[in-house]
Protein backbone atom coordinates (compact mmCIF):
# COMPACT_ATOMS: atom_id res chain seq x y z
CA UNK A 1 0.00 0.00 0.00
CA UNK A 2 1.33 3.41 -0.97
CA UNK A 3 0.67 6.48 1.14
CA UNK A 4 2.43 9.66 0.04
CA UNK A 5 1.97 12.80 2.07
CA UNK A 6 1.34 15.91 0.03
CA UNK A 7 -0.98 18.90 -0.09
CA UNK A 8 -4.43 17.42 0.37
CA UNK A 9 -6.62 18.85 -2.37
CA UNK A 10 -9.50 16.51 -1.61
CA UNK A 11 -11.59 19.13 0.26
CA UNK A 12 -11.26 21.47 -2.72
CA UNK A 13 -12.25 18.67 -5.09
CA UNK A 14 -15.31 17.79 -3.03
CA UNK A 15 -16.28 21.43 -2.65
CA UNK A 16 -16.11 21.96 -6.39
CA UNK A 17 -18.23 18.89 -6.98
CA UNK A 18 -20.76 19.98 -4.37
CA UNK A 19 -21.04 23.42 -5.95
CA UNK A 20 -21.60 21.91 -9.38
CA UNK A 21 -24.39 19.70 -8.04
CA UNK A 22 -26.31 22.82 -6.97
CA UNK A 23 -26.86 23.46 -10.67
CA UNK A 24 -28.70 20.19 -11.19
CA UNK A 25 -32.23 21.52 -10.66
CA UNK A 26 -33.02 22.70 -14.18
CA UNK A 27 -36.76 23.47 -14.43
CA UNK A 28 -39.07 21.03 -16.22
CA UNK A 29 -41.82 22.68 -18.25
CA UNK A 30 -44.26 19.75 -18.26
CA UNK A 31 -44.48 15.96 -18.32
CA UNK A 32 -46.10 13.73 -20.93
CA UNK A 33 -46.63 10.00 -20.97
CA UNK A 34 -45.10 7.89 -23.70
CA UNK A 35 -48.65 6.72 -24.41
CA UNK A 36 -49.60 10.26 -25.41
CA UNK A 37 -47.20 9.86 -28.35
CA UNK A 38 -48.58 6.46 -29.35
CA UNK A 39 -46.30 4.24 -27.30
CA UNK A 40 -47.04 1.66 -24.66
CA UNK A 41 -46.31 -1.81 -23.36
CA UNK A 42 -46.34 -4.51 -26.01
CA UNK A 43 -45.47 -1.97 -28.73
CA UNK A 44 -42.39 -0.70 -30.50
CA UNK A 45 -41.79 2.58 -28.66
CA UNK A 46 -39.12 4.02 -30.96
CA UNK A 47 -41.62 6.06 -33.05
CA UNK A 48 -43.25 7.42 -29.90
CA UNK A 49 -39.99 8.56 -28.30
CA UNK A 50 -38.82 10.05 -31.61
CA UNK A 51 -42.09 12.01 -31.78
CA UNK A 52 -41.52 13.31 -28.24
CA UNK A 53 -37.97 14.33 -29.17
CA UNK A 54 -39.25 16.10 -32.30
CA UNK A 55 -41.77 17.95 -30.11
CA UNK A 56 -38.97 19.03 -27.72
CA UNK A 57 -40.86 17.53 -24.80
CA UNK A 58 -38.85 18.00 -21.62
CA UNK A 59 -40.16 15.05 -19.60
CA UNK A 60 -41.49 11.68 -20.74
CA UNK A 61 -43.07 9.31 -18.24
CA UNK A 62 -43.04 5.53 -18.69
CA UNK A 63 -45.50 3.66 -16.49
CA UNK A 64 -45.32 0.15 -15.09
CA UNK A 65 -44.43 -2.60 -17.52
CA UNK A 66 -42.00 -3.33 -20.32
CA UNK A 67 -41.48 -0.83 -23.14
CA UNK A 68 -39.77 -2.32 -26.20
CA UNK A 69 -37.59 -0.47 -28.73
CA UNK A 70 -37.15 -2.35 -32.02
CA UNK A 71 -34.75 0.20 -33.51
CA UNK A 72 -32.44 2.84 -32.10
CA UNK A 73 -34.26 6.03 -31.06
CA UNK A 74 -32.94 9.39 -32.19
CA UNK A 75 -30.31 11.12 -30.10
CA UNK A 76 -31.80 13.60 -27.61
CA UNK A 77 -30.46 17.10 -28.38
CA UNK A 78 -31.93 18.94 -25.36
CA UNK A 79 -32.65 18.46 -21.67
CA UNK A 80 -35.21 15.66 -21.75
CA UNK A 81 -35.84 13.63 -18.59
CA UNK A 82 -37.05 10.05 -18.91
CA UNK A 83 -38.91 8.97 -15.80
CA UNK A 84 -40.29 5.58 -14.79
CA UNK A 85 -42.28 4.12 -11.90
CA UNK A 86 -39.28 2.42 -10.29
CA UNK A 87 -36.34 0.22 -11.26
CA UNK A 88 -38.38 -2.92 -10.58
CA UNK A 89 -41.55 -1.53 -12.18
CA UNK A 90 -40.49 0.10 -15.47
CA UNK A 91 -38.27 -1.68 -18.00
CA UNK A 92 -37.10 -0.09 -21.24
CA UNK A 93 -35.70 -2.76 -23.55
CA UNK A 94 -33.28 -2.54 -26.48
CA UNK A 95 -34.54 -5.06 -29.03
CA UNK A 96 -32.17 -4.35 -31.95
CA UNK A 97 -28.53 -5.03 -32.80
CA UNK A 98 -26.16 -2.14 -32.16
CA UNK A 99 -23.50 -1.47 -34.80
CA UNK A 100 -20.68 -0.40 -32.45
CA UNK A 101 -19.74 -0.51 -28.78
CA UNK A 102 -20.16 3.26 -28.30
CA UNK A 103 -23.51 3.48 -30.08
CA UNK A 104 -25.83 4.59 -27.31
CA UNK A 105 -29.32 3.22 -26.84
CA UNK A 106 -30.27 6.45 -25.04
CA UNK A 107 -27.95 9.27 -26.10
CA UNK A 108 -27.88 12.94 -25.08
CA UNK A 109 -25.85 15.33 -27.26
CA UNK A 110 -26.81 18.87 -26.21
CA UNK A 111 -27.02 19.71 -29.92
CA UNK A 112 -29.87 22.17 -29.30
CA UNK A 113 -27.66 24.16 -26.94
CA UNK A 114 -29.69 23.24 -23.84
CA UNK A 115 -28.59 21.59 -20.61
CA UNK A 116 -30.44 19.36 -18.15
CA UNK A 117 -32.31 16.08 -18.42
CA UNK A 118 -31.50 12.56 -17.31
CA UNK A 119 -33.16 9.29 -16.30
CA UNK A 120 -34.96 8.40 -13.08
CA UNK A 121 -36.51 5.21 -11.69
CA UNK A 122 -35.99 2.98 -14.73
CA UNK A 123 -34.40 -0.33 -15.67
CA UNK A 124 -32.71 -0.39 -19.09
CA UNK A 125 -32.36 -3.91 -20.45
CA UNK A 126 -30.65 -5.39 -23.50
CA UNK A 127 -32.70 -8.14 -25.15
CA UNK A 128 -30.35 -8.03 -28.17
CA UNK A 129 -26.61 -7.69 -27.57
CA UNK A 130 -24.23 -4.80 -28.15
CA UNK A 131 -23.88 -1.05 -27.81
CA UNK A 132 -23.97 1.15 -24.72
CA UNK A 133 -27.01 1.67 -22.53
CA UNK A 134 -26.46 5.42 -21.95
CA UNK A 135 -24.09 7.80 -23.76
CA UNK A 136 -23.54 11.49 -22.95
CA UNK A 137 -21.57 13.42 -25.56
CA UNK A 138 -21.35 16.66 -27.53
CA UNK A 139 -19.40 18.62 -30.13
CA UNK A 140 -18.36 21.89 -28.44
CA UNK A 141 -18.84 23.87 -25.24
CA UNK A 142 -22.31 25.15 -26.23
CA UNK A 143 -23.53 21.87 -27.70
CA UNK A 144 -22.98 19.08 -25.21
CA UNK A 145 -24.73 17.05 -22.57
CA UNK A 146 -24.37 18.88 -19.26
CA UNK A 147 -26.03 19.58 -15.90
CA UNK A 148 -27.80 16.21 -15.89
CA UNK A 149 -29.34 14.17 -13.08
CA UNK A 150 -29.64 10.37 -13.05
CA UNK A 151 -31.32 8.59 -10.15
CA UNK A 152 -32.21 4.96 -9.50
CA UNK A 153 -30.98 3.54 -12.79
CA UNK A 154 -30.57 -0.22 -13.35
CA UNK A 155 -28.71 -1.37 -16.48
CA UNK A 156 -28.94 -5.10 -17.19
CA UNK A 157 -29.59 -7.56 -19.98
CA UNK A 158 -30.87 -10.92 -21.06
CA UNK A 159 -27.70 -10.68 -23.17
CA UNK A 160 -24.67 -8.43 -22.72
CA UNK A 161 -24.16 -4.78 -23.48
CA UNK A 162 -20.76 -3.73 -24.77
CA UNK A 163 -20.64 -0.88 -22.24
CA UNK A 164 -22.95 0.46 -19.55
CA UNK A 165 -22.88 4.20 -18.69
CA UNK A 166 -20.56 6.24 -20.94
CA UNK A 167 -19.43 9.88 -20.91
CA UNK A 168 -17.65 10.97 -24.12
CA UNK A 169 -16.30 14.48 -23.69
CA UNK A 170 -13.06 14.42 -25.65
CA UNK A 171 -14.69 16.12 -28.65
CA UNK A 172 -15.23 19.28 -26.58
CA UNK A 173 -11.72 20.67 -26.68
CA UNK A 174 -12.05 24.20 -25.26
CA UNK A 175 -8.92 24.52 -23.07
CA UNK A 176 -10.76 26.07 -20.10
CA UNK A 177 -14.30 24.76 -20.55
CA UNK A 178 -14.07 21.42 -22.29
CA UNK A 179 -15.53 17.99 -21.76
CA UNK A 180 -18.97 16.81 -20.74
CA UNK A 181 -19.74 18.55 -17.45
CA UNK A 182 -21.80 18.48 -14.28
CA UNK A 183 -23.26 14.97 -14.27
CA UNK A 184 -24.81 13.58 -11.08
CA UNK A 185 -25.61 9.86 -10.83
CA UNK A 186 -27.29 8.46 -7.70
CA UNK A 187 -27.91 4.74 -7.22
CA UNK A 188 -26.48 3.26 -10.39
CA UNK A 189 -26.61 -0.52 -10.87
CA UNK A 190 -24.84 -2.00 -13.89
CA UNK A 191 -24.79 -5.68 -14.84
CA UNK A 192 -24.12 -7.76 -17.96
CA UNK A 193 -21.45 -5.80 -19.84
CA UNK A 194 -18.71 -7.28 -22.01
CA UNK A 195 -16.64 -4.13 -21.49
CA UNK A 196 -16.56 -1.47 -18.79
CA UNK A 197 -19.61 -0.81 -16.65
CA UNK A 198 -18.72 2.91 -16.53
CA UNK A 199 -16.48 4.89 -18.87
CA UNK A 200 -15.68 8.57 -18.48
CA UNK A 201 -13.67 10.35 -21.19
CA UNK A 202 -12.99 14.02 -20.37
CA UNK A 203 -15.74 14.11 -17.75
CA UNK A 204 -15.73 17.29 -15.64
CA UNK A 205 -17.58 17.36 -12.32
CA UNK A 206 -18.80 13.77 -12.62
CA UNK A 207 -20.33 12.32 -9.46
CA UNK A 208 -21.50 8.72 -8.92
CA UNK A 209 -22.76 7.86 -5.46
CA UNK A 210 -24.56 4.69 -4.44
CA UNK A 211 -25.34 1.52 -6.32
CA UNK A 212 -23.42 -1.55 -7.45
CA UNK A 213 -21.44 -2.83 -10.40
CA UNK A 214 -22.45 -6.48 -10.69
CA UNK A 215 -20.01 -9.20 -11.70
CA UNK A 216 -17.24 -6.81 -10.72
CA UNK A 217 -17.70 -4.53 -13.70
CA UNK A 218 -14.75 -2.22 -14.36
CA UNK A 219 -14.64 1.58 -14.26
CA UNK A 220 -12.49 3.51 -16.74
CA UNK A 221 -11.73 7.19 -16.03
CA UNK A 222 -9.53 8.92 -18.59
CA UNK A 223 -9.15 11.72 -21.13
CA UNK A 224 -6.24 12.98 -23.17
CA UNK A 225 -3.12 15.02 -22.54
CA UNK A 226 -5.02 18.18 -23.51
CA UNK A 227 -8.52 17.27 -22.27
CA UNK A 228 -8.50 15.49 -18.93
CA UNK A 229 -11.23 14.17 -16.70
CA UNK A 230 -11.46 16.45 -13.65
CA UNK A 231 -13.30 16.47 -10.33
CA UNK A 232 -14.53 12.88 -10.49
CA UNK A 233 -16.10 11.33 -7.39
CA UNK A 234 -16.85 7.60 -7.34
CA UNK A 235 -18.58 5.96 -4.37
CA UNK A 236 -20.10 2.70 -5.57
CA UNK A 237 -19.56 -0.90 -4.54
CA UNK A 238 -18.03 -3.94 -6.19
CA UNK A 239 -16.14 -2.49 -9.13
CA UNK A 240 -13.69 -5.03 -10.53
CA UNK A 241 -10.82 -2.68 -11.33
CA UNK A 242 -10.91 1.12 -11.42
CA UNK A 243 -8.59 2.38 -14.19
CA UNK A 244 -7.50 6.03 -13.97
CA UNK A 245 -5.35 7.97 -16.45
CA UNK A 246 -5.17 11.55 -17.84
CA UNK A 247 -7.27 12.81 -14.94
CA UNK A 248 -7.10 15.33 -12.11
CA UNK A 249 -8.76 15.46 -8.69
CA UNK A 250 -10.24 11.96 -8.53
CA UNK A 251 -11.78 10.64 -5.31
CA UNK A 252 -12.64 6.92 -5.10
CA UNK A 253 -14.50 5.34 -2.19
CA UNK A 254 -16.07 1.93 -1.59
CA UNK A 255 -14.95 -1.68 -1.98
CA UNK A 256 -13.29 -2.56 -5.27
CA UNK A 257 -11.24 -5.45 -6.62
CA UNK A 258 -8.33 -3.34 -7.80
CA UNK A 259 -6.90 0.02 -8.84
CA UNK A 260 -4.68 0.82 -11.81
CA UNK A 261 -3.31 4.31 -12.44
CA UNK A 262 -0.37 5.95 -14.14
CA UNK A 263 1.76 9.05 -13.88
CA UNK A 264 -0.66 11.11 -15.98
CA UNK A 265 -2.97 11.40 -12.94
CA UNK A 266 -2.75 14.48 -10.70
CA UNK A 267 -4.31 14.14 -7.24
CA UNK A 268 -5.88 10.77 -6.52
CA UNK A 269 -7.47 9.90 -3.18
CA UNK A 270 -8.70 6.38 -2.49
CA UNK A 271 -10.40 5.12 0.66
CA UNK A 272 -12.27 1.95 1.52
CA UNK A 273 -11.29 -1.60 0.60
CA UNK A 274 -9.22 -1.90 -2.58
CA UNK A 275 -7.54 -5.12 -3.68
CA UNK A 276 -4.55 -5.10 -6.03
CA UNK A 277 -2.98 -1.68 -6.64
CA UNK A 278 -0.88 -1.48 -9.80
CA UNK A 279 0.56 0.94 -12.34
CA UNK A 280 2.55 4.12 -11.73
CA UNK A 281 1.68 6.28 -8.71
CA UNK A 282 -0.19 9.49 -9.39
CA UNK A 283 1.10 12.91 -8.49
CA UNK A 284 -0.23 13.72 -5.00
CA UNK A 285 -1.65 10.28 -4.31
CA UNK A 286 -3.22 9.06 -1.08
CA UNK A 287 -4.48 5.49 -0.64
CA UNK A 288 -5.96 4.82 2.79
Per-residue burial over 55-71, b if 16 or more Cβ lie within 10 Å, else e, is: eebbbbbbeeeebbbee
Per-residue confidence (pLDDT) for residue 239, from 0 to 100: 87
- Residue 107 has, within 13 A of its CA and on its CB side, a CA count of 17
Per-residue confidence (pLDDT) for residue 51, from 0 to 100: 98
Per-residue confidence (pLDDT) for residue 44, from 0 to 100: 98
Contacts of 128 (CB under 8 A, 6+ apart): 94, 95, 96, 97, 98, 159
Mean pLDDT, each 10-residue run in order, the chain (288 residues)? 44 49 48 97 97 96 98 97 98 97 97 95 98 97 96 97 97 88 97 96 97 89 93 92 96 92 94 91 92
Amino acid sequence: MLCTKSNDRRPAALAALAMSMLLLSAPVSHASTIESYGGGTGLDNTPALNAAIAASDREIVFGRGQYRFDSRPNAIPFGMTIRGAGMSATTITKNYLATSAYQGFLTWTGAAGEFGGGIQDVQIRADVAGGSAVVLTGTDQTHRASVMDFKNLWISGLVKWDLGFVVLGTNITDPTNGGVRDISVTNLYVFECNGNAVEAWAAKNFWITGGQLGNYGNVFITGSASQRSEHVFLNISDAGTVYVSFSSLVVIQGAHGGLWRNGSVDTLHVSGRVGTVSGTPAVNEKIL
